[in-house]
Chain A
């Protein structure tokens, strides 16, 4: 029997997080930690390992991006995950990229809201990801190495 892995689950609060939680059976039996964006959801994740709240950020707020970046980096350095799984958005992208640079394997599950094109965070994460899943069949045909196996909603 091999040792448990440390799996870091990263998703913005709201739709991204709810899509990620739907595939929770994927990491059962392993240690987890969470990276998310608002305190409101902390309690609902609390029993499943450390929760890091890194704040909402987007392109409109460059300073907040820096704060989120630092908090994500700190979380990854502290947890040293073996695997990072994310549905996005910006915070998930940062966690995935830092995770990969720190030696983790990265799974990117692009949100179902992206129908004709990978999300911006998905496009940024793709070169760092070991597995990229999309939730629309046409999207998988559009990008090399991107898989469609189904949709979570």
Chain B
């Protein structure tokens, strides 16, 4: 099963339709389940829910062989945390899918680092779907501790200097 998730804040019909068309054209011969938020396009080739509670959402991610989603940080993090191959389509401002185009640079940077695959439009999505199955996402070595330590040092310096 491939899990399609588009987030809940804005509709993302372009992605839902692109995946639906791939299913219709048999470019994607695996079952798809989708969380489509406020998208108004009704997919013809797979089952979709508007939103899922966290438990159901996590179960679908775990059961999925791969994830297709928008290029939101939440989706990218979720896929990496579960070690799932992700094919992400950045939302674009010109289609009213998001308030700015930050997802484009973010997606491209993560693709360059080998963490995800990126499709900018329906054609690229169809092409990259064939790569998705064999794609092994590179694990991300985040450095939370280094950042937390830097902030902690700063807070300590404020503590030391207080009252001086």
Flag the segment in A65-73, A92-100, A107-115 that touches B.
Answer: A107-115
B151 interface residue, CB < 8 Å from A?
A: yes
Binary per-residue interface labels of chain B (138-156) against chain A in the complex, 1 for a CB within 8 Å, 0 otherwise: 0010111111111110110
B99 interface residue, CB < 8 Å from A?
A: yes
Q: How far is the CA of A25 from the CA of B76 in the complex (A)?
A: 24
B73 interface residue, CB < 8 Å from A?
A: yes
Cross-chain contact A105 with B143 (CB below 8 angstroms): no
Cross-chain contact B150 with A133 (CB below 8 angstroms): yes
A101 CB to closest chain B CB (Å) equals 16
A84 CB to closest chain B CB (Å) equals 11
B61 CB to closest chain A CB (Å) equals 16
In this complex, the interface size class of chain B, counting residues with CB under 8 Å from chain A, is 20 to 34
Our pick among A26, A133, A147, A153 for the contact of B155 (Cβ within 8 Å) is A26
Cross-chain contact A150 with B143 (CB below 8 angstroms): yes
Cross-chain contact B150 with A149 (CB below 8 angstroms): yes
Binary per-residue interface labels of chain A (23-66) against chain B in the complex, 1 for a CB within 8 Å, 0 otherwise: 11111001000000000000000000000000000101000000
In this complex, the interface size class of chain A, counting residues with CB under 8 Å from chain B, is 35 or more
Question: When A22-B148, A133-B150, A150-B146 are in contact, do A30 and B72 touch as well, CB less than 8 Å?
Answer: no
Q: How far is the CA of A108 from the CA of B109 in the complex (A)?
A: 22
B160 interface residue, CB < 8 Å from A?
A: yes
Cross-chain contact B154 with A131 (CB below 8 angstroms): yes
Q: A136: which B residues are within 8 A, CB to CB?
A: 109
Cross-chain contact A153 with B77 (CB below 8 angstroms): yes
A7 interface residue, CB < 8 Å from B?
A: yes
Cross-chain contact A151 with B99 (CB below 8 angstroms): no
Residue of B nearest to A116 (CB): B105
The 8 closest A-B pairs by CB, nearest first: A150-B143, A26-B151, A150-B146, A23-B148, A115-B105, A26-B152, A149-B150, A15-B73
| New A-B pairs, 18, CB < 8 Å, besides A27-B151, A114-B102 | A5-B155, A5-B159, A18-B74, A23-B147, A26-B154, A83-B155, A85-B151, A107-B151, A107-B154, A107-B155, A109-B151, A113-B73, A115-B105, A149-B143, A149-B149, A151-B147, A152-B142, A152-B143
